[in-house]
């Protein structure tokens, strides 16, 4: 299993870091067998496997439930679990309590939080001091989709780009071990990646990040019907899954399955 130090060394050595989401036992088993560097139990699980409208509906219990399953499927892989919507904004005490539960009960290696407000920066410092490695997430932060006004590319103008660069330096200063950059121009991601010593892991943030992250179900085209521009699919579970079930149905209807081979 990688350590936080290994991640920094990979950046220094120019070795790309790979991350994929997983939400359950079979997907995390696939990820570990494929030798991924890091698994993210993303709060995207709300949409991807629970059918919610956005990540806003996800609760700490969901993250813990799925995080535990992922850990069982990938016991030897670095696992990051998202802190879900509003679980780290009410008070420092409540944030620490939720972080403790999510980190300790899932036995993860790190937790991830969105944004770089005074509040989340202080939380990053406190969690780091307490021994919980924090990964920051900047750019398009889906938990704020209702404030941002949609899933749009962030940091396109000079002011917002400068703010993102400053925020990246701030999260590093508070102890974040890595930074996820979502949906920002590739030149900006490049600048940020060069300006900080912790690895950047991009999604819709171009080639210059130190690593990349994609959603498992997007990579294998599984259950998703609309893919964002930044996704590349490498498989087609939708077609294969539906075809397999169709063939099964037809063989049962025709009395072709089960044969003696499948019988006792």
Q: Is there a catalytic annotation at residue 94?
A: no
Among 69, 196, 198, 203, binds ligand KIV (CB under 6 A): 203
Mode of pairing for the β-strands spanning 178-182 and 200-203: parallel
- Residue 87 assigned to a binding site: no
Torsion of CA 26, 37, 34, 32, to 10 degrees: -30
Q: Output DSSP code: residue 179.
A: E
CB-nearer residue toward ligand KIV: 21 or 95: 21
Residue 213 engages ligand KIV in binding (rule: CB under 6 A): yes
In the block, tokens 């990349």 appear at 212
Asked if 202 and 190 count as a contact pair (C-beta separation under 8 A), the reply is no
Number of neighbours of residue 152 by Cβ within 10 angstroms: 10
Residues 45-84 that bind ligand KIV (CB under 6 A): 82
14/71 Cα distance (integer angstroms): 28
Query: Could you tell me which stretch among 34-42, 60-68, 95-103, 178-186 binds Na ion (CB under 5 A)?
Result: 34-42
Task: Confirm or reject binding of residue 210 to ligand KIV (CB under 6 A).
Answer: no
Q: How many residues bind ligand KIV (CB under 6 A)?
A: 12
Q: Does 44 bind ligand KIV (CB under 6 A)?
A: yes
Catalytic site residues?
A: 182
Question: By the criterion CB under 6 A, which residues form the site for ligand KIV?
Answer: 21, 40, 42-44, 82, 137, 180, 182, 203, 213, 215
């Amino acid at each position: 299993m990688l350590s936080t130090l290994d991640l920094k060394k990979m950046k220094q050595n120019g070795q790309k870091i790979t991350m994929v989401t997983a939400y359950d036992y079979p997907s995390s088993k696939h990820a570990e067998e494929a030798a991924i560097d890091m698994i993210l139990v993303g709060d995207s699980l709300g949409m991807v496997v629970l059918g919610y409208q956005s990540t806003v509906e996800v609760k700490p219990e969901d993250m813990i439930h799925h995080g535990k399953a992922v850990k069982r499927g990938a016991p030897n892989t670095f696992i990051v679990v998202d802190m879900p919507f509003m679980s780290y904004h009410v008070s420092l005490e409540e944030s620490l309590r939720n972080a403790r539960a999510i980190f300790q009960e899932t036995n993860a290696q790190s937790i991830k939080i969105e944004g770089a407000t005074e509040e989340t920066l202080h939380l990053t410092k406190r969690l780091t001091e307490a021994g919980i490695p924090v990964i920051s997430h900047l750019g398009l932060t889906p938990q704020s989709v209702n404030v941002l006004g949609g899933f749009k590319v962030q940091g396109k103008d000079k002011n917002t780009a400068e703010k993102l660069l400053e925020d990246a330096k701030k999260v590093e200063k508070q102890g974040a071990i890595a930074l996820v950059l979502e949906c920002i121009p590739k030149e900006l991601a490049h600048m940020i990646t060069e300006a900080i010593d912790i690895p950047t892991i991009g999604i819709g943030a171009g080639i210059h990040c130190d690593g990349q992250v994609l959603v498992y179900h997007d990579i294998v085209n599984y259950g998703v019907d609309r893919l964002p521009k930044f996704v590349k699919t490498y498989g087609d579970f939708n077609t294969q899954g539906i075809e397999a079930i169709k063939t099964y149905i037809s063989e049962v209807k025709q009395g072709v399955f089960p044969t003696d081979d499948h019988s006792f």
